Structure 1
Amino acid sequence: MTITINRVSKWYGHVVAVNDVTMTIEPGITGLLGPNGAGKTTLLNMIAGFAAPSSGEVTLDGQPTWRNEQIYRKIGLVPEREPMYDFLTGRKFVLANAKLHGLPNPGAAAEAAIVQVDMAAAADRTIDTYSKGMRQRMKMAAALVHNPQVLLLDEPFNGMDPRQRLHLMDLLRRMSADGRTVLFSSHILEEVEQLATHIEVMVAGRHAASGDFRAIRRLMTDRPHQYRLRSDSDRALAAALVADGLVVSVHVDTEDEALHVQTSDFGTFTVRLPQLARENKIRLYDVTPADESLESVFGYLVRG
């Protein structure tokens, strides 16, 4: 099934959460990547039909998701933050969801979903005894109980240990191989790299980039990089860097006693910098990336 998002915006009063976003999500695994506060959760809620777009339209195979209860037979949603009925056992929680979907054999469906997420051993414990990772997996079971064709996951790996993460990744890959549409959000680049072949990047409510992960990753790698350098002779180091063609800009900051440089080829820069310092008998004290946060990386994509 194909999700189509066409010129969608969502605002709350004067706060714009999603701003004129257009994208298409095809069957397979798509990563919705962006820093915290980028609008990923709001977008997922509109795709799931839980929130109305302020403008634009979200459709699933051509059918609008807002005020269309029939889509819930096809969509499973795993929200990042959602209060659970902690007094229930995991099994009863999933069984309740199976009954709400009107499944012909809710008990068997609940049991199959619990086994699918590897929670059978803890299914008869109450939810208030679960770790965050276990809660995530039981929410996953509830989302899978009706065998949906579309699965939406909001930061699904939060709180999971390495074994749980690997199990969930394997499950999502199997769903993709079955021809289902899987869309998961994350602010962690490595999670998306391991799982998604296609990514959509969001920054500050806007759609920043779209395409094959490797192509987007190259954009991130090839962006200008900024470093803060400290040495025993910052001015001599600055002159050597400029003469060698390693940097596109350089600034000697007398207040923090550091050299601020920008390079467009960080691979060559990190190899050549110590060599250049040695050749010029300059002692390096500190080399610190100044723009390695995800926000700065995604911000570069928006500006670029």
Structure 2
Amino acid sequence: MTTIEIDHASRWFGNVVAVNDITMTIGPGVTGLLGPNGAGKSTLINMMGGFLAPSNGTVTLDGTTIWRNEKIYEHIGIVPEREAMYDFLTGREFVVANAELHGLGDQEAQEALATVAMEYAQDRKISTYSKGMRQRVKMASALVHQPTVLLLDEPFNGMDPRQRMHLMELLRRMGDEGRTVLFSSHILEEVEQLASHIEVIVAGRHAASGDFRRIRRLMTDRPHLYTIRSSDDRALAAALIADPSTAGIEVDISEGVLRIQAIDFGRFTALLPRVARAQGIRLLSVSPSDESLESVFSYLVAA
């Protein structure tokens, strides 16, 4: 039961705070590290993998400090996001080189390549690989020593649907075996399909933690902003303003739109068409104004 403990960890670069006082525990199973681009996910993974020292706080593996502790690599496999690789090597040569760093050889390298379905291209130079193929050969090199902990930074980038499904199944299987698997993503659907537990970070801060249902509920229950165009904005505003599902309504005459803040998402989405029909008002367009991941996660930070 291998566990990574992050205890009030921060990391700053000069005046820039990349990770701000984060505490979390990553245990066996598949955990998704979810957040928009630039949230600090890569910095956090680099601290868990021993590539960066925390500026403050601690990051430990089963109670042992990770930073400057080469023995942790007997237990950890890492798939970084960045593309820097030895392009002049073949895929097999790259994985064998990583196997030899662990005192292993060609047999273990072949098994790892088979695990990620890369035998067919193992004798081609990495310089000829697509992004998805590069991701898979990095995965093979991380798995060559059968680690109990696997850290993956945006592993699905560049993969086609078939490759994505294959990797998801592999990670699920590893989680079911009791390994500790953490992968980062900025795509909610990837995390929903794969992770049994989710950690959300935004702007370097820990925003939420729990299973997918809890995180989805937090996101759904936040205030939603809508821009509506109708055949009679004033009459629609008057009909909606008294309902407790709305917190504020603005009639923008210059743009000919209605802006509504809904605080009860489920009630409002049922109310709007019913009120419009009862009042004989045609809804010309209804569009959310704040559906970016950044706006969703920023709400979680403030909640």
Q: TM-score, normalised by structure 1?
A: 0.97
For 1:250-299, what per-residue CA distance to the aligned partner results, in whole angstroms no more than 9, with x for missing partners?
11122322111011222332233122112112122111101111111111
Inter-partner Cα distance in structure 1 for 2:243 and 2:146: 60
1:63-142 matches, within 5 Å, as 63-103=64-104, 106-142=105-141
The alignment status of 1:153 with 2:152, answered yes or no, reads yes
Cα deviation, residue 222, structure 1: 1.2
Inter-partner Cα distance in structure 2 for 1:118 and 1:143: 14
The alignment status of 1:36 with 2:20, answered yes or no, reads no
Inter-partner Cα distance in structure 2 for 1:31 and 1:138: 21
Q: Which amino acid aligns with 2:119?
A: A
For 1:162-186, what per-residue CA distance to the aligned partner results, in whole angstroms no more than 9, with x for missing partners?
1111110111111111111000000
1:180 alignment counterpart:
179
Inter-partner Cα distance in structure 2 for 1:251 and 1:189: 31
2:209 alignment counterpart:
210
Q: Which amino acid aligns with 1:200?
A: E
For 1:208-257, what per-residue CA distance to the aligned partner results, in whole angstroms no more than 9, with x for missing partners?
11112211111111111110011121111100112344412111122322
For 1:31-64, what per-residue CA distance to the aligned partner results, in whole angstroms no more than 9, with x for missing partners?
0000101100000000000001100000000000
2:9 alignment counterpart:
8
Inter-partner Cα distance in structure 2 for 1:22 and 1:220: 21
Q: Secondary structure of 2:246's match?
A: coil
Cα deviation, residue 135, structure 1: 0.6
Inter-partner Cα distance in structure 1 for 2:293 and 2:99: 39
Inter-partner Cα distance in structure 2 for 1:166 and 1:73: 28
Inter-partner Cα distance in structure 2 for 1:177 and 1:244: 47
Note the residue ranges of structure 1 that are not aligned, 5 or more in a row.
Answer: none
CA RMSD, 1 decimal: 1.1
The alignment status of 1:241 with 2:247, answered yes or no, reads no
Inter-partner Cα distance in structure 1 for 2:103 and 2:48: 22
Inter-partner Cα distance in structure 2 for 1:176 and 1:61: 18
Q: Secondary structure of 1:19's match?
A: strand
Inter-partner Cα distance in structure 1 for 2:138 and 2:107: 17
Q: Which amino acid aligns with 1:20?
A: D
Greater mean deviation of Cα atoms: 78-87 or 88-97: 78-87
Inter-partner Cα distance in structure 1 for 2:252 and 2:54: 47
Inter-partner Cα distance in structure 2 for 1:123 and 1:193: 32
Q: Secondary structure of 1:282's match?
A: coil
Task: Please list every run of at least 4 consecutive aligned residues from structure 1 whose deviation after the TM superposition is greater than 3 angstroms.
Answer: 243-246
Inter-partner Cα distance in structure 2 for 1:256 and 1:294: 26
Inter-partner Cα distance in structure 2 for 1:162 and 1:267: 32
1:290 alignment counterpart:
289
1:26 alignment counterpart:
27
Inter-partner Cα distance in structure 2 for 1:196 and 1:185: 10
Note the residue ranges of structure 2 that are not aligned, 5 or more in a row.
Answer: none
Greater mean deviation of Cα atoms: 73-82 or 264-273: 264-273
Q: Which amino acid aligns with 1:77?
A: I
For 1:110-150, what per-residue CA distance to the aligned partner results, in whole angstroms no more than 9, with x for missing partners?
00000000111111111111111111000000000111110
1:144 alignment counterpart:
143
Greater mean deviation of Cα atoms: 5-14 or 261-270: 261-270
Q: TM-score, normalised by structure 2?
A: 0.97
Identity %: 69
Q: Which amino acid aligns with 2:67?
A: W
Q: Which amino acid aligns with 2:145?
A: H
Count of residues paired in the alignment: 302
Inter-partner Cα distance in structure 2 for 1:178 and 1:56: 31
Inter-partner Cα distance in structure 1 for 2:294 and 2:301: 10
Inter-partner Cα distance in structure 1 for 2:255 and 2:82: 42
For 1:57-89, what per-residue CA distance to the aligned partner results, in whole angstroms no more than 9, with x for missing partners?
000000001000000111000011131111211
Greater mean deviation of Cα atoms: 122-131 or 25-34: 122-131
Inter-partner Cα distance in structure 1 for 2:208 and 2:76: 25
Inter-partner Cα distance in structure 2 for 1:58 and 1:244: 49
1:230-269 matches, within 5 Å, as 230-269=229-268
